[in-house]
Structure 1
Amino acid sequence: MKLLLQDVLFTIPLYQLTFLTPLPKENTYFETISTTIPDQWFERPTLLLLDNDEECLKLSNKNVVNQLIQDSNLIGILLCHQHEILIQEDCFLLLRECKVPLVIAEEPLSTSELLEVKKQHHTFSRLSIELNGFMNKGIMKIAENLSAALETPFLFLDENNQLLWQIGSEEEIEKVLQWLQNAGHDKRKTTNPHTTLPEQNSVMRVDEPYEPYIMNIAGQVQLTLVTLANLKEWQRIILDKFIGLSALVFQTEEIIRAQREQMKEHFIYDLLYRKFESKKVLIKQARTWGWDLEKPHHLFVIDVALSDEWMMNLEWMDEIIVFLENHLSDLNDEIILFPFQDQIVVLLKDDENRNPSSRKSFVFEKAAMMEKELSSHWPGCQFHIGIGKWCQDSVNLNKSYQEAKMALQFGKVWLENDHVFHINDLGIFNLIMHLHKEILYDFCEEYLPSLIESDDKLGTEYLKTLKAYFQYQGNVNEVSEALYIHPNTLRNRLKKIEDMTGLYLHNNVDFLNLMVAVKIHYSMSF
């Protein structure tokens, strides 16, 4: 009974095969299998199946190899070994030059299994094993091996016909690229993505030197693999197997990546909005993404006001994160960056023994350095950073996040000339702003209604005047300069405010109440 060497190879998972020499293009038949190298020539077409060290070592004997390459009945050598097989270089070159098929299979095979190949040819029962093997070994490593076996270059193109990866000699690659540029750029468009490789092959013109094959990934992404044209049917079948498994790997990896991203998003949300009941669980989950949250951390939030030009850039946040990672390489082990709700959250490790003042100075300096680097690189954008309190225990990072957001929100209102704000800079307002919004609204209504009404109807800018007055601590010259008005105009306006509210700015209690009301008003409006 005649059997095909190619049929034998089809029954072995592709990831388990290593082709040490190219495979013959024509069908290669054998009638018997030998598990030993005889002293004389084979009597019938024979596949040599070697599965022990003693027989494999004979391939490093030049006399044995000379005998094998002269034996017309030797159709190929299949080495079944799970560990590396070393063949003397001169013996290996002889086998290669004489085009003896030499293949390694990682798993042991029996003679009886190989004699039943026709019954197993198109089985899909091991698809899961094949897929797992592909993922573990790596698509590109398998592709390099298969390219050598089929003696064809492999070029992988994206949906825009841009080169992603290539395998082959520089001369071969250059020829394929020239073909793609001159005549092959539209080949992919005329190929039906739903046809099989043999069907795709039949629609190509026979005079074309190369053929593009579609790699359809879940019906959403199409890559193209370009090889030599006019491959034999068995070569196209093994190529079809490679493309199908590769597409499954890409699809599976994308699903896993998407699941990991979803898990990461849930973890970040819990980290910033909820308090973990167990620090152990928090630390363990954080390690999934290489984050060490066992140590104390600072947390700050970077807010970006994009320039008109950057509004169209959908990758702006990723670009900023990459920029910071590159420019903060000295802090790689101490800093964690991630996007969250159109802002960037930064966790900075700080387990040094510092007093509160020096700890604030430390984190403020790091944040200011980041803001300076970002503003210098993107001068058309505005960057503001809010810093929460230092967290000795990482389960409290949710609290620090809210503090950083608050520092950012109120700092942008009350410290307009600054870009970095620490929660401690809010002082007593850090306490006031934790009150219910209705209470704060009622407080403003008690002191500001006449001013708000006048500003809305007459454009008097009384609230803006008071805001500047409190910012510059009542310094008339600085306030008038900031408002671009004469000092006397400012004095008259302040007198009008006192008359309308019945409050006097030189009275400490009235000053404090009016200042709190104005700050609450602007903070709530913001």
Structure 2
Amino acid sequence: MAGAGSSARTGVPARHLPNQLNDSNPASHDEATRLRKLLALCSHLSALAAQDADLDAVARVLAGGIGTSVAILDRELDLLASAGIAEPDGVMGQLREHAGAAAVDRVLLAVSHHRRALTVPGLTGSERSVAVAPVSVGQEFAGYLLTRSSRNAELSEDMRLLGTEHAAMVCGILLARDLVIAAAGGRARQELVDGLLAAGGREDGEVERWAQHLGLDAGKEHYVLSVSLARPRGGGLDAIESLLARLARDAVVTSRTDEVVAIVPVSSGSVAHPEQARALGRACAAAVTEHHLGIAAIGLGRPTGTAAGISRSYTEARRALAVSERMGEFGGVTVFADLGIHRLLVRIPDIADLRSFAGEVLGELLDEDNAGGAEYLSTLSVYFQENSSPRRTAQRLHVHPNTVSYRIRRIEEITGLSFGLHRDRLMAEVAVEILAALRSRP
């Protein structure tokens, strides 16, 4: 490293500018001319900060003002903008070849740590030096601005370093502006999503406009997917949002207080909803498990062809989640369209009421099962599923049809019900569904 105040150094940059600008010496006049050029350059760069400029504009102005090549890198050394470089994507390789990998890495570390501009000299005296200035956004280090000296440059090394530092400051201002705009855009997008989910079936043009602003295709049906985590870990919902956005690239995905919500278009093809939705839900659950983010429960609403219907689909997705949680099965994928009578049962606030109803209808039959008698409840459940067919019930249970008929008669005797009566049969079916959902044999 050369010492401070030299034209090629890796220490703190010098700030030696001429003090006698009206000296009659021609060298002083040249110095004054270069200083005026530097001031004009800095003024031009400052003006960019007040305009709708980008990093490419800063690179072009800086390269033209000091006659050098310019590269702007993020903190991971990925290229953000450049000017005057034949192969910008290989700028770091060129720099390490120019100055040596170890020297470059030391300077980059020092620049990021101390937030001061430094110079990387070439490996030989004939090599041009590279100035490296930190780009900061507020208190956060955001990247580097690199300029390479020109053999025919009008500005001195000190002046080039000052210009590089000033340009890096302008880059930080522009990046901060972009972050503010992105944050505002994110808040606006979140408000649009929240408005759609809470629209409550509003049928007006405002809801349609919200959907258009979110980029939803009015020619497609959409459904809502909701992901909730049990025992979530730090950043779990944000990570799930990223995973889901990759799995459903056409979806609108956002994190909320306790869930991740996706508004997903129904794809045209041979696979129809809800199988499409079920496949996406399974893929999401698998990704959550693979990334060790916790236990995920996924609820899926039915598709809708209107923006106003998205609120209904979201409500269905949340009810599907509520079913899995209420019935002690948190985790996995629950499709609202598959719930059947559980859509109604989940709305009864007290599970004890459901259990009490099942007990009143089936009565002593539950005691028979608990005592280890014939599997009356499982027989009755399959019997109802097979539309009261003893033959099909027997096939599923691997017993003789006469055994099924006997068990059904015994169930009627024990409960006092007659399955030939619609009212008795309906109550028994609901009671069996309740017990199956609770996975309980009280």
TM-score by length of 1: 0.53
* Match among 222, 245, 249 for residue 321 of structure 1: 245
Structure 2 counterpart of 1:239, one-letter code? T
The answer (yes or no) to whether the contact 2:383–2:389 under 8 Å persists in 1 is yes
The answer (yes or no) to whether the contact 1:337–1:347 under 8 Å persists in 2 is no
The answer (yes or no) to whether the contact 2:225–2:301 under 8 Å persists in 1 is yes
* Match among 409, 425, 434 for residue 511 of structure 1: 425
Distance 1:513 1:339, change over 3 A: farther
1:366-393 superposed Cα distances (whole Å, 9 cap, x missing partner):
553565588699988899874436455x
Distance 1:508 1:284, change over 3 A: closer
Distance 1:285 1:385, change over 3 A: closer
Distance 1:224 1:188, change over 3 A: same
1:270-311 superposed Cα distances (whole Å, 9 cap, x missing partner):
311343868333334444333466x785434376999xxxx9
Q: Does residue 137 of the first structure (1) align with residue 56 of the second (2)?
A: no
The answer for the alignment partner of 1:176 in structure 2 is 95
Q: Does residue 224 of the first structure (1) align with residue 144 of the second (2)?
A: yes
* Match among 147, 151, 154 for residue 63 of structure 2: 147
Q: Residues of 2 paired with 1:151 and 1:366: CA distance? A: 61
1:184-220 superposed Cα distances (whole Å, 9 cap, x missing partner):
22332233645443xx45xx77979434322122223
The answer for the alignment partner of 1:398 in structure 2 is 311
Residue identity over aligned pairs, in percent, reads: 15
The answer for the alignment partner of 2:292 in structure 1 is none
Distance 1:122 1:251, change over 3 A: closer
Cα deviation, residue 314, structure 1: 6.7
Structure 2 counterpart of 1:228, one-letter code? R
The answer for the alignment partner of 2:253 in structure 1 is 338
Distance 1:228 1:498, change over 3 A: farther
The answer (yes or no) to whether the contact 1:391–1:400 under 8 Å persists in 2 is no
- Bigger mean CA offset, 498-507 vs 154-163: 498-507
1:151-174 superposed Cα distances (whole Å, 9 cap, x missing partner):
444344443445555551239834
The answer (yes or no) to whether the contact 2:131–2:164 under 8 Å persists in 1 is no
Matches within 5 A, 1:99-110: none
1:339-375 superposed Cα distances (whole Å, 9 cap, x missing partner):
45235322559xxxxxxxxxxx999825535655886
Match of 1:224, SS state, is strand
1:372-422 superposed Cα distances (whole Å, 9 cap, x missing partner):
588699988899874436455x33432232235446776999xxxxx8956
Structure 2 counterpart of 1:437, one-letter code? P
Match of 1:512, SS state, is helix
The answer for the alignment partner of 1:241 in structure 2 is 166
Distance 1:253 1:499, change over 3 A: farther
The answer for the alignment partner of 2:110 in structure 1 is 190
Distance 1:321 1:372, change over 3 A: same
Structure 1 counterpart of 2:242, one-letter code? D
* Match among 430, 437, 442 for residue 353 of structure 2: 442
Matches within 5 A, 1:104-503: 130-133=48-51, 136-161=52-77, 167=83, 168-170=85-87, 173=91, 174-178=93-97, 179=99, 181-191=101-111, 193-197=113-117, 200-201=118-119, 209-228=129-148, 232-275=157-200, 279-291=204-216, 297-301=221-225, 315=239, 317-325=241-249, 336-339=251-254, 341-347=259-265, 365=272, 367-369=274-276, 371=278, 386-388=300-302, 390=304, 392=306, 394-406=307-319, 423=337, 430=343, 432-433=344-345, 436-438=348-350, 441-448=352-359, 470-473=384-387, 486-487=398-399, 501-503=415-417
The answer (yes or no) to whether the contact 2:273–2:303 under 8 Å persists in 1 is no
The answer for the alignment partner of 1:85 in structure 2 is none
Structure 2 counterpart of 1:131, one-letter code? A
Q: Residues of 2 paired with 1:320 and 1:180: CA distance? A: 43
The answer (yes or no) to whether the contact 1:387–1:422 under 8 Å persists in 2 is yes
Cα deviation, residue 445, structure 1: 0.8
1:228-248 superposed Cα distances (whole Å, 9 cap, x missing partner):
379723222222222112112
Match of 2:430, SS state, is helix
Q: Residues of 2 paired with 1:496 and 1:221: CA distance? A: 78
Q: Residues of 2 paired with 1:523 and 1:488: CA distance? A: 28
Cα deviation, residue 176, structure 1: 1.2
Structure 1 counterpart of 2:94, one-letter code? K
- Bigger mean CA offset, 247-256 vs 155-164: 155-164
Distance 1:338 1:458, change over 3 A: farther
The answer (yes or no) to whether the contact 1:299–1:390 under 8 Å persists in 2 is yes
Q: Residues of 2 paired with 1:313 and 1:277: CA distance? A: 29
The answer (yes or no) to whether the contact 2:237–2:260 under 8 Å persists in 1 is no
Cα deviation, residue 139, structure 1: 1.0
Match of 2:95, SS state, is helix
Structure 2 counterpart of 1:338, one-letter code? V
- Bigger mean CA offset, 265-274 vs 313-322: 313-322
* Structure 2 residues not aligned, in runs of 5+: 1-16, 151-155, 290-295, 328-332
The answer (yes or no) to whether the contact 1:193–1:214 under 8 Å persists in 2 is no
Distance 1:175 1:365, change over 3 A: same
The answer (yes or no) to whether the contact 1:298–1:390 under 8 Å persists in 2 is yes
Q: Residues of 2 paired with 1:253 and 1:511: CA distance? A: 66
Q: Residues of 2 paired with 1:465 and 1:182: CA distance? A: 77
Q: Residues of 2 paired with 1:164 and 1:453: CA distance? A: 73
Structure 1 counterpart of 2:132, one-letter code? P
Q: Residues of 1 paired with 2:161 and 2:368: CA distance? A: 82
Distance 1:148 1:502, change over 3 A: farther
Distance 1:407 1:121, change over 3 A: closer
The answer for the alignment partner of 1:16 in structure 2 is none
TM-score by length of 2: 0.61
Match of 2:108, SS state, is coil
Q: Residues of 2 paired with 1:453 and 1:249: CA distance? A: 75
Q: Residues of 2 paired with 1:214 and 1:271: CA distance? A: 43
Distance 1:475 1:164, change over 3 A: farther
Distance 1:211 1:142, change over 3 A: closer
Matches within 5 A, 1:14-53: none
